[in-house]
Amino acid sequence: MTLTRALLAALALIASLASARADVTATDILGREVTLPKPAEHVVLAEARHLAVLGLIHDDPVALVSGWRLARALDEPTLAAYRAKFPNLDQIKPVGAGARGLSAEAIIALHPDLVVLTLVDQNDPATELARQQIEAAGIPVAYVDFFSHPQENSMPSLRILGKLTGAEDRAEEFAEFYETRLDRVRDRLTPAVPRPRVFFHVHAAPTGCCATVGTGVFHDFITTAGGVNIGNETVKTVQGNVSLEALIAADPDVYVATGGTHMASRGGLVLGSGVDADTAQASFDALISAPGFSALRAVQDGRAAGVWHMFNDSPVHIALIEYLAKTFHPDLFQDVDPAATLAEINARFSPVTVPGTWWVTERK
C-alpha cells in the first residue's frame, strides 16, 4: 500500500469513527434542542399509551421502554396484544406518583437515555420540578404532542421520536402515509364546499347529556373534515356541557357520538378495542333512540354516527379524519375507505393488530 493510499485509509477510518460517535440532536415540540450521544435505547414515557406510537416506527417498541407513567395507559385489549407478542412488557417499571405525577427518583434509578414528556405536562408545576431534577441528573428530556394539537404536532413529534431513537426512515415513511391522506381530504374541501353543522357528543350516554368539545382535539378533526363544530359556539374550552334542550334547539346537520368500553357502566356508547360489531351497534341504537336524541333532525335524516373516543392521542387519528370527512361529505369521499387505512397501518407499521369496532352508523 502506498503512502497516499494508507493516508486515505486512515482518514476514512477516522471519519467512520467520528460518525459513529456523532451526537444525535433534535428540536423538540417546544423548540428545545435535545442532544444524545447516540440513539436512545432505554426510554421513559410520560404517557404509557405512547408505546403504540413507538410501535409505528419500531418493530419491538417494548424493548426500548424502561419505564412509563400509567396515568394514560393503553386500553386492556391493546395491552394484551402487546403482552402476547412481547412478554417482557411486564418488566416496564411504573414511574408515576399520584394521578398525573412523575417520580424523578424512580426515573433516575432506571438510568434511561431519554425521557419523553408531552405538552400536557408543560404547565404542571410538579412535573416541571421533576423535569429539572431529571435533567440535572444528566438525562435528556424531549417534549412531544399527539393530543393537544394533533394535526399540527403529530408528524413533527413522530419525526422527533424517530430521530432520537434511530428510526428516522420509519418515521418519515409513516409521515408520508399520513400527510398524503390528510392532503387528499384538504384538497377536496375547497372553500365552495358547504360545511354541515356538527354536534360532537363525547363520552356519549342518553343520560347526563351532553358533554361536547369547544376547542382542541376533536374540534380540529371536525374542522379538517369539513364540518362546523356547534360546540365551539358555546363551549370555549376543550370540553364542556350543554343541555339536551340546547342540543335539540341547535338542530345539527350531523350528530356524532364518541364512546368506548368505559361507557358500558353508564349505558352509553360502547365501541373500540375488543368490542364486537353487534355490541357497538346495539349501544348506538339505544343511544339514538332515547328520548330527545330520536327527535334530532340529524338522526331522523340518517346523519348520525358513533366513533371510538381513543382516536384522540395517536397519529392513527388520520383514519378518523377520513371517516368524518366521508360522513360529512359522502359524495366527495365515496372512494375513501377509512377501514382500509387502518388495515394498512396495521400491515405496514404496527407490530400488533387489535380487533375491535371503531365506528358505527344507523341501521338502514
Note the pLDDT of residue 15.
41
235 lies in the same domain as 105: no
115 lies in the same domain as 207: no
In a domain, 50, yes or no: yes
* Closest C-alpha among 291, 282, 209, 203 to residue 247: 209
**For residues 193 and 226, what is the distance between their CA atoms, to the nearest angstrom?**
8
Could you give the number of structural domains in the chain?
2
Chosen domain end from 152, 184, 216: 184
CB 263, CB 269: distance < 8 Å: yes
Provide the residue range defining the domain that includes 139: 22-184
201 lies in the same domain as 167: no
211 lies in the same domain as 123: no
**For residues 44 and 51, what is the distance between their CA atoms, to the nearest angstrom?**
10
202 lies in the same domain as 349: yes
169 lies in the same domain as 279: no
**For residues 313 and 355, what is the distance between their CA atoms, to the nearest angstrom?**
18
In a domain, 122, yes or no: yes
Note the pLDDT of residue 77.
93
Q: How many CB atoms lie within 10 A of CB 150?
A: 26
Note the pLDDT of residue 5.
47
233 lies in the same domain as 319: yes
In a domain, 190, yes or no: no
**For residues 148 and 217, what is the distance between their CA atoms, to the nearest angstrom?**
6
199 lies in the same domain as 278: yes
In a domain, 17, yes or no: no
Note the pLDDT of residue 230.
94
232 lies in the same domain as 179: no
| Tens digits of residue pLDDT in 222-267 | 999 999 999 988 888 888 899 999 999 999 999 999 999 999 999 9
Q: Helix, strand or coil for residue 41?
A: coil
* Closest C-alpha among 153, 218, 171, 147 to residue 56: 171
246 lies in the same domain as 357: yes
Chosen domain end from 137, 163, 184: 184
| Tens digits of residue pLDDT in 118-176 | 998 998 898 999 999 999 999 999 999 999 899 999 999 999 999 999 999 999 999 99
CB 248, CB 285: distance < 8 Å: no
Torsion from C-alpha of 143, 111, 89, 312, nearest 10 degrees:
-10
Note the pLDDT of residue 363.
77
CB 218, CB 258: distance < 8 Å: yes
State residue 171 phi and psi, 5-degree precision. -65, -40
* Closest C-alpha among 357, 361, 360 to residue 274: 357
Tell whether the torsion through CA atoms of 198, 204, 206 and 209 is positive or negative.
negative
State the pairing for strand pair 272-273/356-357.
antiparallel
Q: How many CB atoms lie within 10 A of CB 191?
A: 5
162 lies in the same domain as 299: no
Domain CATH number, residue 317:
3.40.50.1980
Chosen domain end from 184, 217, 252: 184
On the 0-12 / 13-18 / 19+ scale of CB atoms within 10 A, 12 is exposed
**For residues 254 and 288, what is the distance between their CA atoms, to the nearest angstrom?**
12
First-to-final CA distance of the chain: 81
162 lies in the same domain as 209: no
Q: How far is CA 264 from the centre of its chain?
A: 22
Note the pLDDT of residue 6.
45
In a domain, 121, yes or no: yes
DSSP 124: -
Q: What cell was used for 87?
A: 412478554
All residue ranges of the chain with pLDDT < 70 are 1-22, 97-99, 364
CB 26, CB 160: distance < 8 Å: yes
In a domain, 14, yes or no: no
**pTM to 2 decimals?**
0.90
In a domain, 13, yes or no: no
In a domain, 4, yes or no: no
Q: How many CB atoms lie within 10 A of CB 89?
A: 18
Note the pLDDT of residue 8.
42
